[in-house]
Structure formats: C-alpha cells, structure tokens
Amino acid sequence: MFCTRCGRPLPEGAQFCTACGEAAGATGAGPPLPSSSEGSDSLLLSASPLMMVWDKLSTFTNYQFQDASGQVIGSTQGEFAFPIKYTVFDERQQVALTLDAKRVRGLRYDFLIHDPTGAVLATIHQESSVLSRKYSMTVGDRPDWTLTTDAMGYHYEIAGENGGIVVATGDRKPAIRTSTTEIRIAAAPPLDHRIILGAMILVCYLSTRK
C-alpha cells in the first residue's frame, strides 16, 4: 500500500503515513504517479513551455510553476538544508519528485532526483565545486546527458553528452520582486519530465547563489 499524498510505501496495518501524516484509510493499491511521466494526466508533467517563478521577497526560495496562461500547476516546498532539499507538488497537491544532495568529497555534491516512492530517477554530478557551470546527468547507469549554464547563470540547457539533441532550455529573467525562468521542453523528450524539472530547480537555485 502507498500513501495517496506523498507516494511513500506504508507498512501493513499503518494508520498514518510517517512521511506526511496522511491517514492510511485514503491509500490505494499503488503510488499516485507512475514511474514515468508518460501517460500522466498531470499538467506539471506535460506542459511546455512553463514558468518557474520565485518571489525574491519570500523568506525561503520556493518556486511556483505556471503554464502559458498563468495557471498555477505546481510548487516546491523546500527545507533548510545545505546545499538543497526540495519536494515538488503538482496541481493536485501530489508529490511529483524530490530533490536533495549527498556529499561526495570536499565541497563536491551529487544531486539526486527521486520519484514519489523514493526511487532515484537521476543523479546530477557536480564536476568541480559549488561554482561549477557544468554538470553530468546519469539516468539509470548511463551518464548520457549534460546540464550547463551560461557565465551569468541566466540560460540553462540539458543536452546529450556528446553534442546531442537539446532536450530542454531555461531562461531566467530577474525583476525587482520576482525571478522568472521560462522552461521549454522538446516534444516527446527522451528524459522524464520530472528529471528535467528537478534539474532546472537545481541549476536555478545554484545560479542565484553565486
């Protein structure tokens, strides 16, 4: 059995989810989202382009996702953790993904994107330090993708490791109160939308802290 709110597996006989507190009576036979975004009816996991908006006057760097019409289709809930820890909810308030980090050595971290059950969808490897502008992305056991930013941290790109197809781009436009990143995802991308969104959250978060 799985929690219908956060997707975590529940032990037999549990009355509440230990992760989010949802009553176990609301559970179903499987997790709320499939392991792949294909076939999902979630707007967050199908819209392109979409906007990722950060209110710079808020006490914590959380992001809101909007479709082209301005409708809110998702949001993040961050935790005070170094260097990063986020849960992303879709428009139905169900967990779409989580993003966190593990220290590898020194100031180098690997960033992990998880599905609602906690399974790792992708690992993003920081090449040198917290100032790195290039990251390699491993999906499964293959490091076939790269995540890069320009020198100013305003343009982001996910592409094949060896100059392959560009899967997604992000363009950040800061204003006095807000910072808005327009995310464009290729049609029928070879990457799960959750991996793309997790990577965009990560690179935007790190770019605004350099």
Residues 10, 46 share a domain: no
Residues 60, 19 share a domain: no
What residue numbers bound the domain in which 2 lies?
1-32
> Can you list the positions of beta strands (E) in the chain?
50-55, 63-66, 72-78, 85-90, 95-105, 108-114, 120-126, 134-139, 142-149, 155-160, 166-174, 178-185
Residues 54, 7 share a domain: no
Q: What is the mean pLDDT of residues 14-30?
A: 56
Residues 99, 193 share a domain: yes
Residues 166, 128 share a domain: yes
Residues 114, 23 share a domain: no
Report pLDDT digits (tens) over 34-69: 334 444 579 999 999 999 999 988 888 999 999 999
User: Shortest CA distance to 50 belongs to which of 85, 86, 91?
Assistant: 91
Residues 110, 134 share a domain: yes
Q: The CATH number of the domain where 87 resides is what? A: 2.40.160.200
Q: How many domains does the chain have?
A: 2
Residues 91, 11 share a domain: no
**Is the pLDDT at 31 greater than 70, yes or no?**
no
Residues 59, 130 share a domain: yes
Residues 40, 28 share a domain: no
**Is the pLDDT at 15 greater than 90, yes or no?**
no
Report pLDDT digits (tens) over 90-108: 999 999 999 999 888 777 7
Residues 52, 25 share a domain: no
Give 122's contacts (C-beta < 8 A, 6+ positions apart): 112, 113, 137, 138, 139, 191, 192, 195, 198, 199
